[in-house]
Amino acid sequence: MANKGIVYIWKCMVCGAKHYGKNPPASCKKCSCEANRYVLVPKSSQGNEEWELQNYLGLPGLNNLLYLIGTSRKGIPNAMCCSSVTQISFGPPLVAVAINKNTLTHDNIKETGVFSLMPLGRSQTKLAHHFGRNSGRQMDKFVDYKYQPTSTGCPIIEGCDSYYHCQVDHHTTIELASHTLFVAQILEAVVKASEPPLTYLDYTREMSGS
């Protein structure tokens, strides 16, 4: 009885679509992203644009750069978009990436211990969206995208001029609740910064048409 009559508003943090109901939809009807990209809009914040913008960024005030993470298992390439990436040491050169346990990328990295890391440029929102809003569990994301494999088979996607080839140190892997934090050493780096980097804020602004 307590909840009778209450209208819950869910908002898609990718395209801004709203959904009304007790639970978020299984996937977004507008942009097809997964349910975990819907957040419940607190009653006190409904219609508050600042709250909405902050939630696009995950945590208020943080605006990460976007990358593609490429993996390959049993000869099958895959890639996903990732914002939780940071450099953590220079000697040896280490990066940390936080990968959701539901993703195919997660399982691929656990098994193979290697991945390619491709920083995205300001003009590459479409790549972020394609690889970040579809799972390799449901589709071959490479049907319309060309790539070159690294020595371990990880894809370097056409148009990604800079990339890092990384090897995970499973001793320093940290299990978080929803994600695993992989620490990896950079084995090879190709850096040709030709345009400004793509940020999460750029991505969400472009996707929401603002």
Ligand X SMILES: Cc1cc2nc3c(=O)[nH]c(=O)nc-3n(C[C@H](O)[C@H](O)[C@H](O)COP(=O)(O)O)c2cc1C
Residue numbers of the site for ligand X (CB under 6 A)?
A: 66, 78, 80-84, 98-100, 103-105, 128, 132-137, 179, 200, 203
User: Would you say how long the chain is, in residues?
Assistant: 210
Q: What residues have CB less than 8 Å from 179, skipping those under 6 apart?
A: 84, 98, 99, 100, 101
CB of residue 91 to ligand X, shortest distance in Å: 26
What type of residue is 195?
Answer: E
Cβ closest to ligand X, residue 8 vs residue 58? 58
Cβ closest to ligand X, residue 103 vs residue 150? 103
CB of residue 55 to ligand X, shortest distance in Å: 13
Cβ closest to ligand X, residue 179 vs residue 205? 179
SS3 call for 37: helix
CB of residue 31 to ligand X, shortest distance in Å: 10
Cβ closest to ligand X, residue 41 vs residue 104? 104
CB 180 within 8 A of CB 99: yes
CB of residue 175 to ligand X, shortest distance in Å: 14
> In whole angstroms, what is the distance from residue 65 CA to residue 86 CA?
9
Cβ closest to ligand X, residue 78 vs residue 150? 78
Residue nearest to ligand X (CB): 132
> In whole angstroms, what is the distance from residue 145 CA to residue 127 CA?
9
The residue with tokens 């193979």 is 112
CB of residue 86 to ligand X, shortest distance in Å: 11
> In whole angstroms, what is the distance from residue 140 CA to residue 125 CA?
19
CB of residue 65 to ligand X, shortest distance in Å: 10
Cβ closest to ligand X, residue 9 vs residue 35? 35
> In whole angstroms, what is the distance from residue 15 CA to residue 79 CA?
21
Tokens representing residue 165 in the block: 């080839």
CB 3 within 8 A of CB 22: yes
